[in-house]
Amino acid sequence: MSATQQTAATGGKTFFGHPRMLANLFSVELWERFSFYGMQALLLYYMTYSLAEGGLGLDAGVAAGLVGAYGGGVYLSTILGAWLADRVLGSERVLFFSAIIIMSGHIALALLPGAVGLAIGLVLVGVGSGGLKANASSLVGTLYAPGDDRRDAGFSIFYMGINIGALVGPLLTNLAWDAYGFHVGFGLAAIGMAAGLVQYAAARKNLPPTAHDVENPLPRSAYRRWILIAAAAVVLIAVVVATGLLDAGNLANVMAYTAIAATIAYFAVILTSRRVTAVERRRVYSFMPLFVASAAFWSLFQQQFTVVALYSESRLDRNLFGWEMPPGMVQSINPVFIIVFAGVFAAVWTRLGSRQPSSPVKFALGLMVMGLAFLAFIPFAGGGPNTTPLLGLAGILLLFTWAELFISPIGLSVTTKLAPEAFRTQMLALFFLSISLGTTVSGLLAGFYSEETEVPYFAFSGITALILGGALLAAAPVIRRSMSGVR
């Protein structure tokens, strides 16, 4: 155990009772999420608004699919970031370079016009965000000794930092869009990421030595082969785009199939590795139902950026004392609730200690609450333009928040606990793959949503989540035994 981990396990200087470096990672992720969600709050509207309104004039169904595919691509790219961390650079350096790439993407969205700026910006932000996400969470895991009961609470605090950025980002970028246009809003996202990069560059030297470890170094003799593989992949993508085999209409389907294939491959690599012990292998098997539950959850939760975004523009009464609130500001409601309740959930888990529900039970409860959130749309469905009160949607998004707090920070935490030592960061990439698959599916599901199908759409989604949550709850004791001592 490193000196830093020993300090974390035994006390010493802390940040709200946690390792002090949690404050630095908290701040980095805050600024990255400011830029990411600030941009994403504008994205669907930028695609669907007419050219005269400063948008691209895309069909709403196609745009929703693209938003889902983009979100899925962000989480899919965590594979690349995790592989680079475990085999080439280590988590700390991958995080630093990823932040630079993200900032470049936001600058492209702000300065380059039309579809060219959209494509370049989203690719850079997607690749960079994937590299940053898996490694930031992995670095949080290095701050805690094995068996430290504060780990779940620490990830909840880290998650609160994420959501402070997610709260402020959409508010400011929407105000900028409303006053000056889309590209000024994207420019604010670039400024936020620049602030995060400066902050991280100043603090990165204080991370524990384990943050710089390359868990499974790639032999120098293999570098040339992997560079050629990467070049071939880039050429292949360019060819399928140039020939029309991959386009806006089928991108979401391709992304979903890619996420499924990558998931199968990743599980196969980990389970067949000779560096994985029998106990570690059992724990990986126990992770599989949690993976499925996570994918199902995110396929509903990420509809905040597709179905809820469309609903907010057409159904929501956004009049506040004579001022019409930009629809993208709705994206800040969930982070407000996260900020309020993340600390509450963290305090509950800390107080319960070893008596808290197991991770499978928390996942099951999260799925069922998510199902209730979709069923709560039904009383407002079919009511016509501007008929849903803002407080009504806020109540629904409160359920979104509670569901999220049962699954997202807990998922990050349990993944670090179940991960084999040789695949620490890459197991986090597997968890993000579940989010990739769910996010991509959220865009595909949005294609079935319309004003005419609201009631069956919300009913089917809600009931399916309740059934899946109930099944996971029933299976929780069996999953818990396979986790071999991990809660």
Q: Which residues contact 11 (CB under 8 A, 6 or more apart)?
A: none
Which is more confidently placed, 463 or 213?
463
Whether 336 contacts 267, CB under 8 Å = no
User: What gap in Å lies between CA 91 and CA 213, rounded to an integer?
Assistant: 7
Q: In terms of C-beta distances under 8 Å and separation of at least 24 residues, what long-range contacts does 312-315 make, across chains too?
A: 312/393, 313/45, 314/385, 314/451, 315/380, 315/383, 315/384, 315/385, 315/386, 315/387, 315/388
Question: At residue 2, does pLDDT exceed 70?
Answer: no
Whether 302 contacts 439, CB under 8 Å = yes
15: β partners = 18
Report pLDDT digits (tens) over 388-422.
999 999 999 999 999 999 998 888 788 888 888 87
Percent of the chain with pLDDT over 70: 95
Task: Look up tokens 């579809």; give the residue.
Answer: 115
Report pLDDT digits (tens) over 336-345.
898 888 778 8
Which two three-digit tokens encode residue 382?
Answer: 């079919």
What's the confidence (pLDDT) of residue 9? 42
**88: confidence class by pLDDT, cuts 50, 70, 90:** confident
DSSP-assigned states of every residue in 127-179 = HHHHHHHHHHHHHHHHTS-TT-TTHHHHHHHHHHHHHHHHHHHHHHHHHHHHH
Task: Look up tokens 């910006």; give the residue.
Answer: 121
Burial classification of residue 228, based on how many CB atoms lie within 10 Å of its CB (0-12 exposed, 13-18 middle, 19 or more buried): exposed
Report pLDDT digits (tens) over 280-335.
888 889 999 999 999 999 999 999 988 998 899 888 998 888 888 888 899 899 88
Question: At residue 149, does pLDDT exceed 80?
Answer: no
What's the confidence (pLDDT) of residue 387? 86
Question: At residue 441, does pLDDT exceed 60?
Answer: yes
Whether 165 contacts 142, CB under 8 Å = no
**Closest by alpha carbon to 68, among 233, 298, 240?**
298
DSSP state of 316: B
What's the confidence (pLDDT) of residue 8? 40
The 10 Å Cβ neighbour count of residue 247 is: 12
Question: At residue 361, does pLDDT exceed 90?
Answer: yes
DSSP state of 245: S
**Closest by alpha carbon to 429, among 89, 45, 98, 130?**
130
What's the confidence (pLDDT) of residue 11? 44
What's the confidence (pLDDT) of residue 297? 96
Q: Sign of torsion, CA 178 180 183 188?
A: negative
Beta strands in 288-425 (DSSP E): 319-320, 323-324
User: What gap in Å lies between CA 340 and CA 320, rounded to an integer?
Assistant: 23
The average pLDDT across 366-381 equals: 94
Report pLDDT digits (tens) over 3-54.
344 444 444 566 667 777 787 788 788 888 888 888 888 989 999 888 888 8
What's the confidence (pLDDT) of residue 7? 45
Taking CA atoms, 59 is separated from 46, 81, 174, 342, 384, in Å, by: 11, 33, 21, 37, 21
Report the chain's terminal Cα–Cα distance, integer Å. 21
Which two three-digit tokens encode residue 137?
Answer: 């969470």
pTM of the predicted model, to two decimals? 0.81
User: What gap in Å lies between CA 250 and CA 255, rounded to an integer?
Assistant: 9
